[in-house]
Amino acid sequence: MKIGITFAGQGAQYSGMGKDLYDTYPAAKAIFDMAGEQVKEWCFEGDEETLKQTHVTQPCIYTVTMAAYEAFLQALEQAGLKDDVEIIGYAGFSLGEYAALTAAGVIDEIKTGMEIVTKRGKLMNEAGTGADGKPMGAMAAAMGKREPILEVVEEAREDGVLEGVNFNSPAQTVVAGDKAAIERFVQAAKAKKIRAMVLPVGTAFHSPMMVPAAKELKNVLREAGLGAPQAKIYANVTAEDMMKDFDGGDVCEYLADIMSRQAMSPVYWEETIRNFVRDGAEALIEIGPGKTLSGLAKKTDSSIARFNIENEESLQQTIEGLAALKKGE
């Protein structure tokens, strides 16, 4: 049975996330213990406002997703399904791509991954903050087909920064830019009967506003010593195998370039889901807080089986679902 693994990004965090996995699975507990007491406190007891802070959110989401992934591998083995499941590839939405890198062996230690995502969050936050300490950018989600939405982007841009940055499904595109441009976009979209809403985020992620962060992030990634992936990773910036254009040479430099560009480039998530299906995935398993990616997968291709793992209950449901799929083969 061929499956694809997707890792959640920022936005679905909540107090108590990962606690029952920590209590139930030694493999998950080991990840949290490596992350340290501060991260455990944030994940298990942090209030909503604390968990919204980027320097808190990014290491917490990364830790929870990796803990849930390790719990999944342990549960697969316990259920006798390990030899029946073939993971054909990994993908992670934005921040989640760092969990994909870790699962595929590019980042060799949880501690290293924690350091990278913490620095990444700080750099992106700084890039989107003005001299007055206030956010310069914003993001908005628009519902409908991609092309009409991008036409509105062109109309509303004027002299500001405004780009389509997350192509999430056939029915959802996220745009990012400076605040004035986002306000123009929302009004222009509504005038054309396109439903659009400003998102509760602090800046314009994956837009040209992140260029300063991307430059600094590249140095962080170089210093981390990224290794060659041991499995396929579908890159956010192309939706294809991350190593597709590698022609030899310094693999760390190649991957540092891709992952630094990710901070300032669009995420092609709809295409990523379609490519999982193209490559034979029979099921997609979303790992991490929330069910956002499962919902996007359903809107993109409802024929593929979808599961999510964020706690003990959803993990058991996933194991039962995979067992049922195996039985039906």
Strand partners, 198: 140
Q: Which of 15, 55, 94, 294 is catalytic?
A: 94
Closest by Cα among 118, 129, 280, 155 to 212: 129
Closest by Cα among 177, 183, 182, 189 to 149: 189
Alpha carbon 229 to its chain's center = 18
At 159, the amino acid letter reads: D
Query: Which tokens sit at 179?
Result: 């605040």
Long-range contacts of 23-26 (CB under 8 A, 24+ apart): 24/71, 24/312, 25/67, 25/70, 25/71, 25/74, 25/75, 26/74
Query: Which tokens sit at 157?
Result: 């841009």
Closest by Cα among 1, 2, 6 to 285: 6
- Rounded distance between C-alpha atoms, residue 317 and residue 311, angstroms: 10
- Rounded distance between C-alpha atoms, residue 209 and residue 136, angstroms: 9
Our answer to whether residue 314 is catalytic in this structure is: no
Strand partners, 142: 173, 196
Q: What is the DSSP string of 212-227?
A: HHHHHHHHHHHHHT--
Q: Which of 206, 207, 260, 265 is catalytic?
A: 206
Our answer to whether residue 55 is catalytic in this structure is: no
Query: Which tokens sit at 257?
Result: 């370039």
Residue in the block written with tokens 């108590």: 16
- Rounded distance between C-alpha atoms, residue 59 and residue 36, angstroms: 11
Residues marked active site are found at 94, 206
